[in-house]
Amino acid sequence: MSPKIAAESSPDKVVVREYDEERDKAAVEELERRCEVGGQLGKAPSFVTDLMGDPLCRVRNFLFHVMLVAEYGAEKEIGGVIRGCIKTVTRGKNDSSGFPLYVKLAYILGLRVSPTHRRLGIGSKLVQHLEEWCKKNGADFAYMATDCSNKPSINLFTLKYEYVKFCNPTMLVHPVHAHYKPIDSSIAIVQLSPQFTESIYLRVFANSQFFPKDIDVIINNKLNLGTFMAMPKKYLPKWYTQSGTLPPSFAILSVWNTKEVFKLQVKGVSALTYACCVGSRVLDNLMPWLRLPSIPNVFRQFGVYFLYGLHMEGKGASRLMKSLCDFAHNMARDDDGCGALVAEVGQRDPVREAIPHWRKFSWVEDLWCIKKLTTATQEANGSCGPSDWCKSQPSSSVIFVDPRDF
């Protein structure tokens, strides 16, 4: 559902209006191609994203979503674009009742301004109009996520629009190489039904932050490849006979197939880095018995699997989580064109240390900034969620990263 927004004229030749697929698709695709997006690998190269011919793909999976474009000048060139969506999420638990606190949250993403249209105020106008859409549709807060090195975006949101730096999740990336990873024979890995997955997630993430109320929609989405649980094999027979119970030790995660939505490509590496990456594949092909973890060809377009809902409990849980990630790697290895596994977790989340990753391909700190949209009058009328989320200490170190946001 995407409520219509009327076009609005501006004296400085910038007009912001809602995206029209038939009219704007070609121009927006060209704009996206001209803008390098994503994060950095080793602080040198960059990810370039191909949205697979669907500029709305990043927000289509949300009930409430919108995409705005900015026209500039008499020629009405598309100089910028921005996307937004609204969902209901947890912001921790109520100290008195112990029940989760829910707020209506807007996510602002995909802000792009053409290199030939920068410093014209287009980015500011897009953010302003999107915030107004968010307010009209009842959002209590808005947040955005970016790489810590993206200073122009950070300055725009924090200095001009008063967003505050809220948290620094860690993005962990593991390339998919040519060899299967062995799974410990003492560990059982089972696929869970959507219904059982929902009941587990509602339990283990009830007190986390950003856990979406519509988790059932995510689990049943066609991009979700399944939810898997690892446990010691000795618990398997008893666990199957006790429906609805959990084993004393387990790890769980879900796999989201982003390669059907967008693809990435690494650009900007040095000649030496490129040669080393190619050399690792050549050596692996010549001597496959060494089982070298060669770097896949990330210099052409590739897809990724996003791992979300990562949680572990009990004795030896870190080993169980590592085995689950290895299992996901083997799934990706069998999927042509999947070049990496990606997970994003809170810096103090216990699962962080258990997730296999390559440092050169990962970000130690992502940056999420947040802003309260509701007014004092709305708070007094009880028409918004808790007003101190931006300033309060988080009640949990766990952040649930919605795969639709990735």
CATH number at residue 27: 3.40.630.30
Average pLDDT of span 386-402: 73
Please tell me whether residues 151 and 75 are part of one structural domain.
yes
Q: Is residue 285 part of a domain?
A: yes
Q: Is residue 299 part of a domain?
A: yes
Please tell me whether residues 165 and 295 are part of one structural domain.
no
Q: Is residue 52 part of a domain?
A: yes
Give the model's pLDDT for residue 9: 41
Strands 100-113 and 141-147: parallel
Q: Is residue 1 part of a domain?
A: no
**Domain containing residue 97:** 14-169+366-405
Please tell me whether residues 153 and 235 are part of one structural domain.
no
Please tell me whether residues 57 and 123 are part of one structural domain.
yes
Please tell me whether residues 154 and 252 are part of one structural domain.
no
Give the model's pLDDT for residue 57: 86
Please tell me whether residues 325 and 219 are part of one structural domain.
yes
CA distances from 57 to 60, 204, 309, 374, 403 (A): 5, 29, 22, 28, 13
Residue type present at position 48: V
Segment 258-313, tens digit of pLDDT = 988 888 877 777 788 778 888 888 887 778 777 777 778 878 888 999 999 999 99
The per-residue DSSP string of 50-67 comes to E-TT-TTTTTTTSSEEEE
Domain count for the chain, please give it.
Answer: 2
Alpha-carbon span 394 to 86, nearest angstrom: 21
Q: Is residue 319 part of a domain?
A: yes
Please tell me whether residues 311 and 215 are part of one structural domain.
yes
Q: Which DSSP letter does residue 158 get?
A: I
Please tell me whether residues 89 and 193 are part of one structural domain.
no
Task: Extract the tokens encoding 7.
Answer: 């076009």
Per-residue exposure over 321-335, b if at least 16 CB sit within 10 Å of its own CB, e if not: bbbbbbbbbebbbee
Please tell me whether residues 389 and 301 are part of one structural domain.
no
Sheet holding 187-192, edge to edge: 170-175, 338-345, 303-313, 250-257, 224-232, 187-192
Nearest one of 392, 399, 402 to 205, comparing CA atoms: 399
Q: Is residue 279 part of a domain?
A: yes
Please tell me whether residues 210 and 181 are part of one structural domain.
yes
Give the model's pLDDT for residue 233: 95
Average pLDDT of span 171-200: 93
Q: Is residue 4 part of a domain?
A: no
Percent of the chain with pLDDT over 90: 54
- Please check whether residue 255 is in contact with residue 224, taking contact to mean a CB–CB distance below 8 angstroms: yes
Please tell me whether residues 339 and 292 are part of one structural domain.
yes
Q: Is residue 9 part of a domain?
A: no
pTM, 2 dp: 0.87
**Average pLDDT, rounded, for the chain:** 85
Please tell me whether residues 221 and 323 are part of one structural domain.
yes
Confidence of residue 389 (pLDDT cuts 50, 70, 90): confident
Task: Extract the tokens encoding 146.
Answer: 């970016």
Q: Could you tell me which residue, 149 or 15, shows the higher pLDDT? A: 15
CATH code for the domain of 211? 3.40.630
